[in-house]
Amino acid sequence: MIIIEYIDWQGTPEGLEEYCSAVKKALTDTPDSKYIGRYSPMNSSLNWAVFFEVKDYPTLEKVFSNFHYKRDYKTLPRMLQEHFR
């Protein structure tokens, strides 16, 4: 299952790297999941997207439980996910 996580990043480039590192670590710590990459959609207010792959919904739940990042709503006010099976 492919997951696209769109984020509205309003922080620094270093902060974005910190966020993406937390995503990568959560995926590394979760079996049957892998980081695919990050891109910037040019036609959206959700200005970054992170792609990753998981085996199924229980694996996605494990990724969420392994994700450790203190969200600052000033730098990351909005986000959404799309799931492709």
**Model pLDDT for residues 31-45, shown as the tens digit of each residue:** 999 999 999 977 778
Domains of the chain by start residue, with CATH? 2-84 (3.30.70.100)
**pLDDT tens digits for 70-85?**
999 999 999 999 999 9
Contacts 24+ apart (CB under 8 A), 17-20: 18/69, 19/69, 19/76, 20/50
What gap in Å lies between CA 30 and CA 11, rounded to an integer?
27
What pLDDT band is residue 4 in, cutting at 50, 70 and 90? very high
Q: What is the pTM of this model?
A: 0.90
What amino acid occupies position 13?
A: P
Mean residue pLDDT across the chain: 95
